[in-house]
Amino acid sequence: MRFADFNLPSYIMLGLEKQGIYEPTEIQELTIPLIREGRDVIGKSQTGSGKTYAFAIPLIENIDVDDRSTQVLIVCPTRELAGQVTDEIRKLTSMRESCKVVPIFGGSDMERQIKALKSGARIVVGTPGRIIDHLNRRTLKLKNVRTVVLDEADEMLNMGFKEDVENILKASNPYRQTVMFSATMPRAILEITSLYMTDSVLVETAETDKNASIDQYYLNVGLRDKTPALIDLIKDNNTSIAIVFCNTRKMVESLTTQLVEAGIDARGLHGEMRQSERRKVMASIKSGDTRVLVATDVAARGIDIHGVDVVYNYDIPQKTEYYTHRIGRTARAGRTGVAYTLINTKYQLDQLQAIHRDTDNVIGEYVCKYSVKREASLRATRGGGSHTRPNERGGDKHSSVRRDKSPHKPTRMDRYKQEGRYKSQPTYMQYDYEDRPSRRGARRDDVREDRKGSSYNGSDTFRRSTKRYGEYSPKTRAQSKGKSSSRDKIKTTSKPTNKKAKPTSYHIPTKSGGKRRK
């Protein structure tokens, strides 16, 4: 299929052709007709799949330039993403006079934003906090908004914007269309869809599994060797552009300094930098002046940088979702890429193992001169190694992630079993469940109630304490993969979901002649 088959207006076709884009990606092919019809759409898709144009093309086409009010609101989790979405849309609207796109996010001048909004912003792209700010000041009105787009919705909720997102939806025209893009479908997302979307369609594409085109490796090194190992990797790979992810702002700063000292052209990006600085760093990366971007998740979320060949996880991400999003910075628009994750403790190896299970991605070991003998390092971190070195394939840098367990060393539990003192239910579990108030402050009965329908057991530490390495409850796994419980199950691809019945029915004709129900 080609974009020409969509009968798009000439200014959009020209905007696409200027970028050498002629064929829609899978997500675009599926969602453009649905959004055109006015349906509420949930796109399960990651950055790099072409999702911005998947929603932007039908929405731009539907803008009424004679109406000066805000007709489309796009909510993004970060300033960078909001800036990027604005730029992408402007590439398609530059030839359509009066189709004004205004970005509103923190860190930029408020007065200028107010002026831009007053001058007839047909499309507004912003971050939740600043949108709420403008709503409170009444400088942004969403009474006539036709479509609200929640971009990277899972990340917005992860960042604690759930309430803001709900308030934005409540402040918007109740007869609007709602479009949501999310790489994962956690419970909180499903709640939003059932409360604020009508007759929605879930669109899931094979591209969601684009991690298949990323070669993934891990390096098991000592803490002190992490930076030298990374420096060697960057120099060996000699990539055009690389992103190094750290978990904290402090680490971004100190690692950037160390890389620069080692002669690597690196710049840091984190959420606490001034907006003007962040913009400069992004511009320098995008223009190719800087080769290595060292960033936190928040800063690098959703950013689209052409030609990122390698992603390094200097710190292992705390959630599988973050891993997926991080490595998704590479292998964009049909290209391939490589991702390396550095680990330096047994606990981090466990975390990586969980990521491996959740994603089904093959993560091979990359053996370098800094690689540690795992037996020794495990003994140091946990007082007893439980794994042997996986594959000693001398000379071959990349070996399989599969590893065998070492001969079982008797534990205290084994001794208890031998002595007949072993209880099938761990004592700590009984104590926590019966006598101690849960960490959530709920009473015992509430905790029991909680446990009926979910695998949640009241406390994360507790969950960890009752699981041995290697165990994984199927329900937890299903949830972490974004599958819903039977209660909020959404029907599969391209089928209307069973929505809560709404009292009245309205028909809003769209430009393309489609109708939507409310």
Residue 164 or 304 with smaller CB distance to ligand AMP? 304
Would you tell me which residues interact with ligand AMP (CB under 6 A)? Answer: 19, 21, 23-25, 28, 47-53, 304, 332-333
State the minimum distance, in angstroms, from the CB of residue 20 to ligand AMP: 8
State the minimum distance, in angstroms, from the CB of residue 25 to ligand AMP: 5
Structure tokens at 369: 């001169």
- Cα–Cα distance, 436 to 339 (Å, whole number): 43
Residue 19 or 240 with smaller CB distance to ligand AMP? 19
State the minimum distance, in angstroms, from the CB of residue 303 to ligand AMP: 9
**Tokens 């970060």 -> residue:** 78
Burial 130-148 (b: 16+ CB within 10 A, else e): bbbbbbeeebbebeebbbb
Say if CB 349 and CB 220 are below 8 A apart: yes
Q: Where are the alpha helices (DSSP H) in 19-127?
A: 26-37, 51-61, 79-93, 110-118
Query: In the beta sheet, which residues pair with residue 345?
Result: none
- Cα–Cα distance, 75 to 141 (Å, whole number): 14
State the minimum distance, in angstroms, from the CB of residue 293 to ligand AMP: 16
Structure tokens at 393: 């394939």
State the minimum distance, in angstroms, from the CB of residue 6 to ligand AMP: 11
Structure tokens at 311: 């992603």
State the minimum distance, in angstroms, from the CB of residue 87 to ligand AMP: 10
Structure tokens at 245: 């992810």
Residue 17 or 236 with smaller CB distance to ligand AMP? 17
Residue 23 or 109 with smaller CB distance to ligand AMP? 23
C-alpha 486 chain-centroid distance:
24
Residue 52 or 510 with smaller CB distance to ligand AMP? 52
Residue 229 or 242 with smaller CB distance to ligand AMP? 242
Single-letter code of the amino acid located at 147:
T
Residue 49 or 359 with smaller CB distance to ligand AMP? 49
State the minimum distance, in angstroms, from the CB of residue 183 to ligand AMP: 11
Structure tokens at 47: 């950055």
Residue 78 or 480 with smaller CB distance to ligand AMP? 78
Candidates 50, 98, 31; CA nearest to 71 is 98
DSSP state of 516: -
State the minimum distance, in angstroms, from the CB of residue 11 to ligand AMP: 17
Candidates 241, 206, 267, 252; CA nearest to 330 is 241
DSSP state of 275: H
Structure tokens at 300: 């690098």
